Structure 1
Amino acid sequence: MSQPQTSAPVPQPAADTAQRRLIQVLFVGVFMAALDSAIVGPVLPALREAFGIDNRTAGLLTTVFSLSSLCSTALMAYFSDRHGRRPVYLISVALFAIGSVCIAAAPDFDMLLVGRAIQGIGAGGIAPVASAVIGDVFTAERRGRILGLIGATHGMAFVLGPPLATLLTSTLGWRWLFLVNIPVALLVLWWGARSLPNQRNSSAPGHIDLAGIVCTLLFLLCLVLGISRLADSATGLLLWPGFLAASGALLGALVVIEKRQAHPLIPIDLLANRQLACAYVLTLGVGFSMGGIVFLTSIATLAYGVSVESAGLALLPLVLCSMVGSMAAGRLLNRLGARSLVIFGFTLLTLGYLQSAVPQTGLTAFLIASVLIGIGVGVVVSGALRSIAMDEAPPTQRGTAQGLITILNAVGTLLAVTCISAMADFEGGELTGFSHAYLALALSMLLMLWVAFGLKKKSAEPA
């Protein structure tokens, strides 16, 4: 009689509580990093005034953050596969907090850049490691909903970020925008040390792929610098071909190096999986779709007479629909399957950006297009592609597989912003240039839709 009592399912409520606590600590960490990205734009005027810098110099804050986060993502994902998710996630949050302190206490713009770089290194590890934890801990039935919740943090950040930035900057000063990260980070560190699993890969090799690490960092460095210089009319014509050529050569060298490694930083054999290869191409397209949002406010001001001060409000339907689309897609992921959701998302993005390329249709049509784009972005970032990476990658390489998702997403965003701005500036920065640029973006979304049909139907999907 005693044996059935000891095997009774008494610990189940405690297990549910532990999983809820784990979801919360991952959500808060990802939201903290996403919110910081959303407040940088509104605070730029205050930074220009405080440090006496021009717009081009202020743009270095975004470039440095993108570069450092891209470079750290592969490393953090790699180390999380080798040494466990908990220490890498906590180190990433700690670095983000240290960067925030450096920015808040910065006496000059150089220290501001240093703090932004440290923040980027920390942010590069938060999202991919959080996704890998979800893949390790939760069943396939629950992953979709949780990934949708995590994906919705970016929409929430862009809703709350601008008004929060305006409020704190006008009352306490811009430095408090970064000081508020400190108590949040401390909470995540304390919470995460108690909640995150500390499983280690017992089969991890003793040596580190130093050649792969160095080659990856140099490749990403040249790629980001090449993309950023492409948009710089003053020096870009001379510098960007060299940087992009160097990144191409380094990419070829990286493939050769990683094929020879027994335990590579970036396992090339992951790309031999057709499902994973399609997912990574589509992730690049997701980055393109997110980069296209940046210049929609320019269309609103040029085509419909929306004031510069109110241009951000024109994107409010897009941001709200992105949040709703992400959470809804997360709930429907297990029922409809990743393939169906990705196809639906890129269909909406194609229609929305195609409508944006025809501004003569009026403001109402523009708002309808922004709703389609918002839902589409919410669906494709909801976790469908990350769930494919979780299902297809070996458990010992989940962190790396999630890291590649983050890297390709960021690269796609940089490419989209650069290409749209270059096409618009080529035609004088007027409405015609943006119209042509968004037509090209709509065609790229149509290409991604075609790639999405290449995803296989999983057995869990309904017929």
Structure 2
Amino acid sequence: MSQQTQLSPPLPAADAVQRRLVQVLFVGVFMAALDSAIVGPVLPALREAFGIDNRTAGLLTTVFSLSSMCSTALMAYFSDRHGRRPVYLASVALFALGSLCIAAAPSFDLLLVGRAIQGLGAGGIAPVASAVIGDVFTAERRGRILGLIGATHGMAFVLGPPLATVLTSTLGWRWLFLVNLPVALVVLRLGARYLPRHRSDAAPGPIDLAGITVTLLFLLFLVMGISRLPDSATGLMLWPWFLAVSGVLLAALVVIEKRQAQALIPIDLFANRQLAIAYVLTLGVGFSMGGIVFLTTIATLAYGVSVEYAGLALLPLVICSMVGSMAAGRLLNRLGARNMVIFGFGLLTLGYLQSAMPETGFTAFVVASVLVGIGLGVVVSGALRTIAIDEAPPAQRGTAQGLINIFNAVGTLLAVTFISAIADFEGGELTGFGHAYLALTLTMLVMLLMAFGLKRKSSGSVVGPATSVGRQE
């Protein structure tokens, strides 16, 4: 995407208008994050309603992850070509349509279709929102806003389970998805009014159909290969082939995209050392997020926490993640992205090291959860997204933010797969999880050392607002 986009000049927007814009972005991202937080608690109701087993129910997560990853690349690409507003609104509308399909689904197959549509919408919401923040707000204000956006996942995981429990036990599980509809309508209405317009002097060039096709196939085979690593005998026979095909497709993608004037995945982004490091670190952030999944298992195996209340063991982690993200956003401009990332991965290394030693007791487990929560909040607060905003050309900001989401999602899948594989190799008992979390600790240590390769100050491709807000052009 080498096209230089001419954004409309900044207009003197009132603080109230910018606050409304932040609200539009925040509510949209929070809606998508909240949906991820309620799926786990609602699974028992879905198994009962459709008569499915646990493996089949797991398709809800796999389908959503795959469709959202594929959508991220596409939505980011089209937001760079045609503007943030139409793509953000289309993403929210798709998410609402998927929610309606799920709520009305008479069978599990149609439920999966709705979940896939939801994923298509969710994949575009966060990266486009981040690109809007980079376009509109000054460097001094970006950190705080990105920190608020980053805190949505913590807020969602605090509010999601109680909300899922109340609605499922009173009105039924379908209402968990129906409530998305009025929220989406509000976002669409306000978004049409307050999201910035986009104006380009040159018409977009041909769509990168070859790049889109190869990228989607690459993500499909990559996800299938990763998800089948710890599978049954059949999976063990298939996963090397899936990963091998994904490797070939990746090589083909690099060749194809180097020849495209407006590539879906601009290869020159990876020639920027700061962006390349940021994307590897984002993979590490995904690894750290995947590590949270099995902490409840450690709580049940090591400390006798009941399965029904295992989720409460993560409450300190979730709250600390939310607080850490907002605090880090406020400190980002003062301390710099590099220092925030180093601090975050340092805490994650210490926290997961303590988690790998469950014999130290439940109090130590809580301390480890606090360290992991704060560390995770810091690394997702917006530091890495700020680097992507500053280092990427303005015409490729959407794509640069989309790659953050893709690397994050791949890292999460890899972490869940490898932790479960290491634990299952040793019988699925506490010793196996201890070894798995020791491996996770080493991964966090590698990320910590890589973070020292970041510059103390990003180059800052654009300083200050770059586009208009509201209806004016």
| Smaller-chain TM-score bracket | over 0.9
The corresponding residue for 2:305 is 306
Task: Please say which of residues 95-104 and 232-241 is displaced more in the overlay.
Answer: 232-241
Q: Is residue 342–residue 451 contact of structure 2 (8 Å, CA) maintained in 1?
A: yes
Does residue 31 (structure 1) correspond to residue 34 (structure 2)? The answer is no
Offset, 1:229: 1.4
Task: Describe the shift of the 1:418–1:202 C-alpha distance in structure 2 as closer, same or farther (beyond 3 A).
Answer: farther
5 Å-filtered alignment, 1:98-109, equals: 98-109=97-108
The CA deviation string for residues 151-172 of structure 1, in whole angstroms up to 9 with x for no partner, is 0000000000000000000000
Offset, 1:238: 1.5
Q: Is residue 101–residue 114 contact of structure 2 (8 Å, CA) maintained in 1?
A: yes
User: Aligned partners of 2:208, 2:423: CA distance in 1, in Å?
Assistant: 42
5 Å-filtered alignment, 1:194-209, equals: 194-203=193-202, 205-209=204-208
The corresponding residue for 2:94 is 95
The CA deviation string for residues 249-308 of structure 1, in whole angstroms up to 9 with x for no partner, is 000000000011111111100000000000000000000000000000000000010110
5 Å-filtered alignment, 1:106-145, equals: 106-145=105-144
Q: Is residue 135–residue 143 contact of structure 1 (8 Å, CA) maintained in 2?
A: yes
Q: Is residue 82–residue 200 contact of structure 1 (8 Å, CA) maintained in 2?
A: no
Q: Is residue 391–residue 459 contact of structure 2 (8 Å, CA) maintained in 1?
A: no
The corresponding residue for 1:355 is 354
Offset, 1:97: 0.3
5 Å-filtered alignment, 1:22-61, equals: 22-61=21-60
5 Å-filtered alignment, 1:332-343, equals: 332-343=331-342
User: Aligned partners of 2:346, 2:373: CA distance in 1, in Å?
Assistant: 12
Offset, 1:202: 3.3
Which amino acid in structure 1 is aligned with residue 191 of structure 2?
A: G
Q: Is residue 42–residue 162 contact of structure 1 (8 Å, CA) maintained in 2?
A: yes
Q: Is residue 321–residue 371 contact of structure 1 (8 Å, CA) maintained in 2?
A: yes
The corresponding residue for 1:365 is 364
The CA deviation string for residues 403-429 of structure 1, in whole angstroms up to 9 with x for no partner, is 000000000000000100111111111
5 Å-filtered alignment, 1:392-407, equals: 392-407=391-406
The CA deviation string for residues 74-122 of structure 1, in whole angstroms up to 9 with x for no partner, is 0000000000000000000000000000000000000000000000000
Q: Is residue 390–residue 458 contact of structure 2 (8 Å, CA) maintained in 1?
A: no
Task: Please say which of residues 382-391 and 201-210 is displaced more in the overlay.
Answer: 201-210
Which amino acid in structure 1 is aligned with residue 367 of structure 2?
A: I
Query: How many residue pairs end up in the alignment?
Result: 451
**Where do 5+ consecutive residues of structure 2 fail to align?**
1-9, 461-473
The CA deviation string for residues 439-460 of structure 1, in whole angstroms up to 9 with x for no partner, is 0000000000010000011179
The corresponding residue for 2:466 is none
Q: Normalized against structure 2, the TM-score is what? A: 0.94
User: Aligned partners of 2:91, 2:196: CA distance in 1, in Å?
Assistant: 16
User: Aligned partners of 1:64, 1:383: CA distance in 2, in Å?
Assistant: 27
The CA deviation string for residues 391-413 of structure 1, in whole angstroms up to 9 with x for no partner, is 00000000000000000000000
C-alpha RMSD over aligned residues = 1.4
The CA deviation string for residues 352-394 of structure 1, in whole angstroms up to 9 with x for no partner, is 0000000010000000000000000000000000000000000
The corresponding residue for 1:424 is 423
Which amino acid in structure 2 is aligned with residue 387 of structure 1?
A: T
Does residue 218 (structure 1) correspond to residue 224 (structure 2)? The answer is no
The corresponding residue for 1:297 is 296
Task: Describe the shift of the 1:390–1:78 C-alpha distance in structure 2 as closer, same or farther (beyond 3 A).
Answer: same
The corresponding residue for 1:3 is none
Which amino acid in structure 1 is aligned with residue 117 of structure 2?
A: I
Does residue 192 (structure 1) correspond to residue 195 (structure 2)? The answer is no
Does residue 283 (structure 1) correspond to residue 274 (structure 2)? The answer is no
User: Aligned partners of 1:114, 1:32: CA distance in 2, in Å?
Assistant: 19
Q: Is residue 339–residue 455 contact of structure 1 (8 Å, CA) maintained in 2?
A: yes
User: Aligned partners of 1:141, 1:131: CA distance in 2, in Å?
Assistant: 15
User: Aligned partners of 1:391, 1:128: CA distance in 2, in Å?
Assistant: 15
Does residue 21 (structure 1) correspond to residue 20 (structure 2)? The answer is yes
Give the 3-state SS of the residue equivalent to 2:324 in structure 1. helix
Q: Is residue 211–residue 257 contact of structure 1 (8 Å, CA) maintained in 2?
A: yes
The corresponding residue for 2:447 is 448
The corresponding residue for 2:154 is 155
The corresponding residue for 1:8 is none
Identity score, percent: 85
The corresponding residue for 1:247 is 246
Q: Normalized against structure 1, the TM-score is what? A: 0.96
Task: Describe the shift of the 1:12–1:75 C-alpha distance in structure 2 as closer, same or farther (beyond 3 A).
Answer: closer
Q: Is residue 34–residue 154 contact of structure 1 (8 Å, CA) maintained in 2?
A: yes
Offset, 1:12: 9.7
User: Aligned partners of 1:371, 1:270: CA distance in 2, in Å?
Assistant: 35
Runs of 4+ in 1 over 4 A off after TM superposition: 11-14
The corresponding residue for 2:412 is 413
Offset, 1:186: 0.5
Offset, 1:235: 2.7
Q: Is residue 22–residue 196 contact of structure 1 (8 Å, CA) maintained in 2?
A: yes
Offset, 1:134: 0.2
**Where do 5+ consecutive residues of structure 1 fail to align?**
1-10
Offset, 1:233: 2.2
